[in-house]
Amino acid sequence: MPKNFVLSTALKSYEGFGDPRVHIKKFQSMMFFNGAFDPILGRSFPTFLDGAALLGFSKIPAGSISCFEELARSFIDYFAASQIYVHGSDYLSSIKQGPHESLKDYMTQFAKATIEIPNLNPEVHLYALKSGLCPEKFQETIAITKPKMLTKFQEKTVTQMKIEELREARRIEKRQPHDARTSWLV
C-alpha cells in the first residue's frame, strides 16, 4: 500500500445480499476518489465484505486473480443469485396517483421506481407518468398541453405542486381559529 493511502470506512460491508454490481461500483468509486489503483483495489476489497460474502471470497484460490476487473467479474458471478429483482418499464403502468395523493407524493413514488429500471426509454417514462395521474384538472392540463418531453412535463408538475401546496396552506389557515392566527400580535 502507498504510504499516504488511507482506507475509507464510508462503505457498508457487503454480506451477500443485494446486487453485487452495486457494491462493486460503490467500492470502485470510493477507492478511485481516494486515489487507489488496480493492485490496491484487489488488496482492500475483502475489508468491505462480511458474512457469507467474506466466506465466499475466501474460497478464491490465492494467485488465481490477476486484476481487479477479473475479481469483480468473479464476485458478481458468485453472488448473481443475490441480486434484487429489477422491474421492467411495464411495471410503471401499475403506479397510479391515489384519489387523495398529492402530485408531489406521486412523483416521488414514481421517481423511486424509475431508478430501478435500467435503460428506461424517456417516451415510455413520460407516457407512464401521464397515464398514472389521477383524473383531475392537472391531468386535463397535461392532455391539452401535451408535453412531448420529460423536462416539459416536469416544469408543469413543479407549477402544479406549488399550486397544491398553496391550496393546502390555505386549507390549514381556514381551519385555525381567528385568534390563533393573530395571537402573536398581542
Exposure string of 120-152, with b = 16+ CB inside 10 Å and e = fewer, is beeebbbebbeebbeeeebeeebeeeebeeeee
pLDDT (0 to 100) of residue 83: 66
> What are the grid coordinates assigned to 133, written together?
395521474
Domain containing 152: what range?
89-180
What is the domain-level CATH number for residue 128?
1.10.1200
Residues 75 and 149 in one domain: no
- Indicate whether 169 belongs to any domain: yes
Residues 144 and 162 in one domain: yes
- Indicate whether 185 belongs to any domain: no
For the chain, residues with pLDDT lower than 50 are: none
Q: Total domain count for the chain?
A: 2
Whole-structure pTM value: 0.52
> What are the grid coordinates assigned to 14, written together?
457487503
